[in-house]
Amino acid sequence: MPQTKQRKVPVNLRQSGDHDVKMLIGTRVRKSCYWHKSVEHGVRAVTVYNRMYHPRLYFSDEQNSLMGEYYFLTNYVTLWNVAVERQIMVKGPDAMEFVNRVVTRDMKKKMPVNKGRYVILCDQEGGIINDPVLLRVAEDEFWFSISDSDLQLWFKGLNQGWNLDVEIAEIDVSPVQVQGPYAQPLMAKLFGEQIKEMGYYWLWQTELNGMQVVISRTGFSGEVGYEVYLRNSMRDADQLWDTIVEAGQEYNLRVIAPGHIRRIEAGILSYGQDMDLETNPFEVPLEWQYDGEKEDWYVGKEALDRIASEGVERKLVGLVMGGPPVRWYNTDFWLVYDETGENGVGYVTSAFYSPKMETNIALAFVPKKYAELGTALSVGLPAEATPVNATVHQVPFFDANKELPRGGQPGQQLKG
């Protein structure tokens, strides 16, 4: 099978399909503070993310399932339960020093208080450990809003050797996302007109009806969006959720799952699908996270310097492809073949039908020689007897300059 690189743990490329296996809901996996609210809103499918239950579908077949959720995300405003983005706090006199030792870019130059950054953390071999949003909420306090892998234990292990003066702990802070074209008027209704002045990836610490929150101008959708990080979340979760839902009715708000169709269109990567510990940032479109001029040492620096010099043998590329519309999460890493459909060369990590592109789109790992834009390939879809045609396409597929989340329209050149 085409693994695309020698891995210590090979990617499971068996095409096992979806057998409608029921997920056991029990006490071993954590239920977030918003879990019961997701149940109230009719959650139909969940996965496990950061050892927590994570909603992946609310809409019924009559509501057009994930495509119906996509419609409300791209036309109105939506509320997401994303408490699985667990918050790992690093706080103390040496907090900045610790953060700069684990993040590939220079946070001393890029991270004032009340600023957020999308960052990556790598191990000593250059493998991506996590790609969180980093929030600086005080001079001596940072939160890592983590993707699907454990940072708290890794941080504690590192500091056994470093012995820096920091506290490392998960905290009682749980985010929701408010995403879609009407996100800004809804948030202004809740928090005041000043929220319209927030720049992309800036933070605002404020309160709502006595609830303490940190708002970030960020999101996983490629649309206008905000994340609301609720302090004391086990206590105040119901109040925050119900307040947002009620205020959003005039904007046709719907509770939906995180919009993976839209995030693929926007070229947003999903940890565990599109990258993992055996993937380095030069193999996926994250080479911009490598700062070759960063003077301070950090974990993985030597490996990333070497990889930057030597190059890589495979790339994560975008594909547009034929076949029937892909309307559900790909349950396997579908195989990618060369143009003949006979020789396996790679595998798809994420795929969906894109309403904006009016075709199936995917992210896929292929050897570097197949990564040039316009290269003809083919993909084995489960419902098709023979591989369907595919072509390497630019990523992001839509709104390449990310004007939409900044409040503009594709084709504009906005700053922020």
Lookup result for tokens 């996302």: 177
What DSSP character marks residue 27? Answer: S
pLDDT digits (tens, 9 = 90+) for 320-370: 999 999 999 999 999 999 999 999 999 999 999 999 999 999 999 999 999
Q: Where are the domains of the chain?
A: 1-21+313-402
In DSSP notation, 393-409 reads E-SSSS-TT-HHHHT--
Residue 20 confidence (pLDDT): 85
Report the mean per-residue pLDDT for the chain.
Answer: 96
Residue 213 confidence (pLDDT): 98
Residue 109 confidence (pLDDT): 87
Q: Is the pLDDT of residue 414 over 90?
A: no
Report angle CA 401, 410, 327 to the nearest 5 degrees.
90
Q: Is the pLDDT of residue 98 over 80?
A: yes
Taking 3-state DSSP, the helix, strand and coil percentages for the chain, each rounded to the nearest 5, stand at 25, 30, 50
Q: Is the pLDDT of residue 135 over 80?
A: yes
Give the C-alpha separation, 200 to 176, whole Å.
Answer: 17
Report angle CA 35, 16, 333 to the nearest 5 degrees.
75
pLDDT digits (tens, 9 = 90+) for 370-380: 999 999 999 99
pLDDT digits (tens, 9 = 90+) for 161-191: 999 999 999 999 999 999 999 999 999 999 9
Residue 267 confidence (pLDDT): 97
Residue 1 confidence (pLDDT): 64
Residue 407 confidence (pLDDT): 80
Residue 412 confidence (pLDDT): 41
CA distances from 393 to 264, 336, 369 (A): 12, 14, 14
227 labelled binding-site residue: yes
Q: 2 falls in which pLDDT band (50, 70, 90)?
A: confident
CATH classification (class only), 1-21+313-402:
mainly beta
Give the C-alpha separation, 65 to 380, whole Å.
Answer: 24
Q: Is the pLDDT of residue 208 over 60?
A: yes
Q: What is the mean pLDDT of residues 32-42?
A: 98
Residue 416 confidence (pLDDT): 35
pLDDT digits (tens, 9 = 90+) for 251-305: 999 999 999 999 999 999 999 999 999 999 999 999 999 999 999 999 999 999 9
Q: What is the mean pLDDT of residues 52-78?
A: 98
Report angle CA 22, 36, 132 to the nearest 5 degrees.
85
Q: 413 falls in which pLDDT band (50, 70, 90)?
A: very low
Pairing of strands 254-255, 78-81: parallel
Comparing CA positions, the residue from 285, 284, 292 lying closest to residue 309 is 292
Comparing CA positions, the residue from 274, 271, 324 lying closest to residue 121 is 271
Residue 409 confidence (pLDDT): 63
Exposed, middle or buried, 210 (CB in 10 Å: 0-12/13-18/19+)? exposed
Q: What is the mean pLDDT of residues 211-240?
A: 97
Q: Is the pLDDT of residue 70 over 60?
A: yes
Residue 31 confidence (pLDDT): 98
Q: Is the pLDDT of residue 410 over 70?
A: no
